Amino acid sequence: MSPAIALAFLPLVVTLLVRYRHYFRLLVRMVLLRSLRDCLSGLQIEERAFSYVLTHALPGDPSHILTTLDHWSSHCEYLGHMGPVKGQILMRLVEEKAPACVLELGTHCGYSTLLIARALPPGGRLLTVEWNPRTAAVAEKLIRLAGFDEHTVELIVSSSEEVIPRLRTQYRLSQADLVLLAHRPRCYLRDLQLLEAHALLPAGATVLADHVLFPGAPRFLQYAKSCGRYRCRLHHSGLPDFPAIKDGIAQLTYAGPG
């Protein structure tokens, strides 16, 4: 490429870098730097985060553990977790609905799991599903470090597609009063329809879906709005440490099979 052609494209490149600078920063922190640290340490990011929690957080104090994870994500490595802003939305909804049984698809490091467990009513139960065994092992240790036992929080290591059909028979979950979808947005629609097909959603159940705007779950949102079985509301927020990147939590209220 000649210098003249390169100079002609320079204003466009600069404009793109300025306009999408937040996305470039996210790409560097979440993909490039994370991949480099994974190779150098031989550990997943969740494992590195848990090591930090062990040396900086108070055992048996879920609030302090969550704050420690937030600090680590902001000042050490970007964790890509739910974060405090969306976390407050989640806790408020769990406290308002007071669900007897919650199903979480996508445990990750256990951050949102602790948020839900903290807000459960007395006797409430949380089943959380994580497909990656190494990530699940970290989440299990974090959950127990926070003081929640297996009667309150049960972690299932499997894919959501395999677990949902077995929830009633193998895990004694007849229905879920509240469901959090926080795994892969491209799987949200499939798993919502699986929950419907296996009659795991009672009328009035709440389904919460994270990351519906970024990276986005357009087919899931379109289905929820058009099928006639849900009342839909969107809680807008930004990504942790990247407030300019808009995201949100979808809140669906199930009206019944109709």
Q: What is the DSSP secondary-structure string of 52-98?
A: HHHHHS-TT-HHHHHHHHHHHHHHT------HHHHHHHHHHHHHHH-
Kindly state whether residues 138 and 23 are assigned to the same domain.
no
User: Count of domains in the chain?
Assistant: 2
Residue 153 lies in a domain: yes
Residue 27 lies in a domain: yes
Where does residue 239 rank: exposed (0-12), middle (13-18), buried (19+ CB within 10 A)? buried
Residue 50 lies in a domain: no
Percent of the chain scoring above 90 in pLDDT: 88
pLDDT band for 14, please (50, 70, 90 cuts).
Answer: low
Kindly state whether residues 180 and 88 are assigned to the same domain.
yes
Backbone φ and ψ for 201, nearest 5 degrees, come out as: -110, 115
- Residue 101: CATH number of its domain: 3.40.50.150
Instruction: Judge whether 29 and 61 are in contact, CB under 8 Å.
Output: no
Task: Tell me the pLDDT tens digit for each residue of 227-238.
Answer: 999 999 999 999
Task: Tell me the pLDDT tens digit for each residue of 70-93.
Answer: 999 999 999 999 999 999 999 999
Kindly state whether residues 30 and 148 are assigned to the same domain.
no
Backbone φ and ψ for 185, nearest 5 degrees, come out as: -55, -30
Residue 73 lies in a domain: no
Task: Tell me the pLDDT tens digit for each residue of 190-249.
Answer: 999 999 999 999 999 999 999 999 999 999 999 999 999 999 999 999 999 999 999 999
Residues spanned by the domain of 6? 1-42
pLDDT over 80 at 10, yes or no = no
Kindly state whether residues 168 and 223 are assigned to the same domain.
yes
Kindly state whether residues 153 and 206 are assigned to the same domain.
yes
Q: Which pLDDT belongs to residue 77?
A: 96
pTM: 0.93
Kindly state whether residues 201 and 132 are assigned to the same domain.
yes
